[in-house]
Amino acid sequence: MKKVKVTYFKPSGKYYTEEFVEIPVELSGYDALHKELPKHHRIKNMFMLVQNSEPDGEEQEPYIVPHLFHPIESWGE
**pLDDT tens digits along 19-56:** 999 999 999 888 999 999 999 999 999 999 999 886 56
Sheet arrangement for strand 47-52: 15-23, 2-9, 47-52, 67-69
Identify the DSSP state of 74. G
* Cβ-proximal residues to 30 (8 Å cutoff; 6+ apart), any chain: none
pTM of the model: 0.83
Which residue segment(s) compose the domain that 64 sits in? Answer: 2-74
The structural domain count of the chain equals 1
Rounded Cα distance, 52 and 5, in Å: 6
More confident residue, 30 or 76: 30
